[in-house]
Structure 1
Amino acid sequence: MPDATAYPMGDEEAGQAPLAGVRIIEIGRFAAGPACATVLADWGADVIKVEPPGGDPARGPGSLERDGAPPVNPRFEVHNRSRRSVVLDLRIDRGRAALDRLLATADVFVTNLSPGALERLELDAATLRERHPRLIVAQISGYDLASPLAGRRSYDHGAYWSYSGAASLFAGPDGEPPQPAGGFGDRAAGSALAGAVAAALFARQRTGTGGHVTTSLAATGMWLMASDAGDLLNGGRAHRAGGRDTAPIPTVNCFRTADARWLWLQVMTPDRDWDRLLDALGAPWLDEDPRFRGGDPARLRANRTALLELLDELFRERPLAEWADRLGARRLVWAPVRGLEEAVADPEVRAGSAVVEFDDEFGVRHVSVNTPCLFDGATPRPPTRAPEAGEDTRAVLAAAGIGEAELAELTEAGAIDAGALDSGSTGPRGAL
């Protein structure tokens, strides 16, 4: 493993983080590859993002101007915080040579560039591992690298949402597929790849050699639908999302309350919880109906339309707060259906680990979504703001042994933007 002091982490806590001392070179676009690197950075890794001239195209849309400070793009921030940025033109031989100097100091190379682009830049796994046998190459593609579609480019709306079948499962009655949330599949694939990177680092401790770990947006989509896909693979049928009366377990369903709110009841084992559910509903008489007696799952499923009609009437009798008390007192599992606006404004969410807040060196407050895994009850590494494109070029290349004379040659060759060198930072941002 490279010397952890070569690129300081910028915070004391990082030394105790699980991936402290691990160096990541990330060449990503938009969300999937960068999302993986954010997870690894939160786990303590030192991440260096290598961007093309002009920066990652994801920087543009959605930026918010801040007085006296660089603009903040919340969507870019969540996928690119807690790292440094180097701008290199990899179309130029000298640019690729400088990148190779960085890769020689790295443990992991994370990318979601297309397989064709990686081959043209001589950054494919086979080529890299020939030059750097201990390097772990972590790659996200649109489609599986072993499939005939390996070379086809895609974003998550395509390979993850459309091609995998996810969109059709959530389509409306007319078959029109809905729009997914932004970066939905990207973050899922990035998180999966981060776990694979951790496993590959563990394996390298035993073998001394690197590896090639991959995932795809299409495979991630299939994994997230594994319950339904598994049924189909074994002769069953998929559960089509959408209609309440299609729920395999009718008591795992949403119901509207007297104050026009919705709650999601999660009685997964109605035969065990039937008496407590009827007590909460104030409807012991439901058990007198032979169609529902004992909460037998097969009976409930066979008569779910009639059951849902009766449950709808009962839930409309009381407001959400009252149902919260009644269901909670009987230890029944449920959750309110909330809008995203309500969820992000919830003080309990802000007090927990889902939202991360910090001030940067300009005094600008950053509020973002945290990565979901904790170590000993906390995120191991305090975050830092997303860097400006290329602002760490001089410091990072100098730490790799590229001095001023060579920086000048790289600039003259067009591999480095002189503006990035002139305006860049002289060291890493600290956690604030």
Structure 2
Amino acid sequence: MTAVMKGVRILEVAEHTFVPAASALLADWGAEVIKIEHVERGDAMRGLASTGTSPVSGSVHVLLEHSNRHKKSLALDLTTDEGLDIVYQLAATSDVFLTNKLPRVRSKLKIDVADIRAHNPNIIYARGTGQGERGPDADSGSYDFLAFWARAGIAAALMDADDDRIRFPPAPGFGDSIGAMTIAGGLMGALYHRERTGEGTIVDVSLMGVGLWAMGQGIALSLQLDTPWGQPPNGRTGNPLVGTYRTADGRILAFSCLQVTRYWPEICRILGRPELIDDPRFVDHAAISANTGAASDILAAVFAQGTLAQWRERLSGFSGQWAVSQTTLEAAADPQSAGNGFLQDVQTADGTSFQLVAAPVQYNERPAAAGRSPELNEHGDEILQSLGLDWDAILNLKIKGIVA
């Protein structure tokens, strides 16, 4: 894999998933990431015992690993002058300063834009926030379940009419991981801009903004129609080949054949119902649209007569677009996942093996290897020595509790 970020140094003062996962992607692509952690507990993610819906257990903290692979860890007390001075020294040699601290916390810790740029005027300063850097809620904390999922309209758009509560996101860190890709892309753009102009920019990405972007087409249509975006009535889309059907063994087949008249004759033959091709209810686009309910009912009845294995075989030559709705375990074992390196084998420091999803961008046809996350303060001595501190000075900092 081509390490496109090799030579870039990122200084991170952040925890949880949203912002750390961004630098994890850049680390996968070759960047050096120095992660500043709380001097005693480290990143709060290290102590997370539950996602809210599932316990975090086992010998490997895979949530921590997802967001911190390939990084170097320095556990440091930022509330002390000596600790802050170390951050400033590291910032002076870094290309990017990355944080998810709230405005009031950045100001209190003296790591805001002006503080960091006093030691490196051209550094790229990146902030990941819940609701954005401005506005009445700029200084309010948030999580992806709130700012990305609930506030940006995603949860409401997934509700059925008879639901009495919103659904949870499909996975922990769902909006965080999408937002992390956005931060990573923004930083790469900022680095390119500085390379061309010499100007270091401020990069802002919020969970709410990412959620709104993900809902962008639905929001644009909502504004145009003055109607909130929601699920199609009764799950019907107006096109019988855009939707889902259940098999005899309870599995779900998903179809997204937008050109219904192109694929209708072919699917009718595959389903053993060629008479439907010339049925007056389905002879053209207008007729199919007017009789979508009838067409969907016919397809549902036919699909319910065969198992998933049978339909995989029968649909193997279908030229339209379809997929099986898979569980996370099935997605991980999908031949496409293996063939493209979408999952990577990793080992912890003690040799325990596990797997992580690879960075979603590949260079020169090779996936980036997903390395392990650091132990708390694993690289502390190395980083401090790189700043010119001798062992006596480092030991003194340890004794004073400034570094772990």
Q: How far has the Cα of 1:178 moved from its partner?
A: 0.7
The one of 174, 187, 193 aligned to 1:197:
187
Do the aligned residues in 2 keep the contact of 1:357 with 1:367 (CA within 8 Å)?
Answer: yes
Give the match for residue 315 of structure 2. Answer: 327
1:43 equivalent among 7, 14, 29? 29
What aligned pairs does 1:222-241 form with structure 2 within 5 A after superposition? 222-235=212-225, 237-241=227-231
Task: For residues 330-376 of structure 1, give each alpha carbon's deviation from its aligned partner in whole angstroms, at most 9, with x where no partner exists.
Answer: 31211011122322244553453221103355332131121211111
Instruction: Say whether the 8 Å CA contact 1:354–1:372 is kept in structure 2.
Output: yes
Contact 2:35-2:72 within 8 A present in 1 as well: yes
1:170 is matched with which residue: 153, 158, 182?
A: 158
When the two chains are superposed, the root-mean-square deviation of aligned CA atoms in Å is 2.1
CA contact (8 A) 1:162 1:168 kept: yes
**Cα pair distance change 1:149/1:246, threshold 3 Å:** farther
Asked whether the equivalents of residues 267 and 333 of structure 1 are also in contact (C-alpha less than 8 Å), the reply is yes
**Shift of the alpha carbon at 1:310?**
1.3
- Does the CA contact (< 8 Å) of 1:170 and 1:242 recur in 2? no
- Separation in 1 of the partners of 2:238 and 2:114? 47
Deviations 1:296-323 (A, max 9, x none): 1x54344322222111112112222232
> Is the contact made by 2:358 and 2:370 (CA closer than 8 Å) also made in structure 1?
no
Question: C-alpha separation between the residues in 1 aligned to 2:102 and 2:238?
Answer: 40
Residue ranges of structure 2 left out of the alignment (5+ in a row): 50-55
Structure 1 residue 149 corresponds to structure 2 residue 137: yes
Name the CA shift for 1:244/1:38 in 2 (closer, same or farther; >3 Å).
farther
Check if 1:26 corresponds to 2:16.
no
Q: Separation in 2 of the partners of 1:205 and 1:18?
A: 14
DSSP 3-state at the match of 1:131:
coil
Aligned to 1:398: 385
Amino acid at match of 1:124: D
How far the C-alpha of 1:239 sits from its partner, in A, is: 4.2
Aligned-residue offset at 1:175: 4.1
Q: How many residue pairs were aligned?
A: 395
Q: Corresponding residue for 2:168?
A: 179
Distance 2:215 2:33 in 1: 31
CA gap 1:227/1:248 in 2 versus in 1, 3 angstroms: farther
Question: Are 1:366 and 1:385, in contact at CA under 8 Å, matched by a contact in 2?
Answer: no
Match of 1:264 in 2: 254
Pairing 1:374–2:362 present: yes
Q: Which amino acid aligns with 1:385?
A: R
Q: Does 1:252 align with 2:242?
A: yes
User: How far, CA to CA, are the matches of 1:203 and 1:386 in structure 2?
Assistant: 30
> Residues 27-57 of structure 1: CA distance to partner in whole angstroms, max 9, x if unpaired?
1111001110111011110111100121011
Q: Secondary structure at the match of 1:32?
A: coil
The 5-angstrom pairing of residues 338-377 of structure 1 reads 338-346=326-334, 348-360=336-348, 362-377=350-365
Superposition pairs for residues 401-412 of structure 1, below 5 Å? 401-412=388-399
The match for 2:52 is none
Paired with 1:262 and 1:398, the residues of 2 have a C-alpha distance of 57
Q: Indicate if the aligned counterparts of 1:133 and 1:209 stay in contact, CA closer than 8 A.
A: no
SS in 2 for 1:335: strand
Q: Per-residue CA shift, 1:224-249, capped at 9, x if unaligned?
A: 11121110122354442376534253
Shift of 1:167: 0.9
Instruction: Report how far residue 259 of structure 1 moved.
Output: 2.6
Moved more, 221-230 or 117-126: 117-126
Structure 1 residue matching 2:213: 3-state secondary structure = helix
What is the percent sequence identity of the aligned residues? 32
Q: Which of residues 376, 384, 389 in structure 2 aligns to 1:389?
A: 376
Query: Bigger shift: 362-371 or 35-44?
Result: 362-371
Query: How many angstroms apart in 2 are the aligned matches of 1:174 and 1:108?
Result: 45
Q: Distance in 1 between matches of 2:279 and 2:114?
A: 67
Pairing 1:305–2:293 present: yes
The answer on whether the counterparts of 1:239 and 1:246 sit within 8 Å (CA) in structure 2 is no
1:73 is matched with which residue? 61
Amino acid at match of 1:272: R
Aligned pair in 2 of structure 1 residues 123, 195: CA closer, same or farther (>3 Å)? same
2:250 maps to 1:278:
no
Does the 8 Å contact 2:236/2:243 carry over to 1?
no
Q: Could you tell me how far 1:385 is from its partner in structure 2?
A: 1.7
Q: Deviations over 1:160-206 (max 9, x none)?
A: 11111111111233241011121011001111010010011100011
Given the alignment of the two structures, is residue 59 of structure 1 paired with residue 46 of structure 2, yes or no? yes
Aligned residue for 1:158, secondary structure, equals: helix
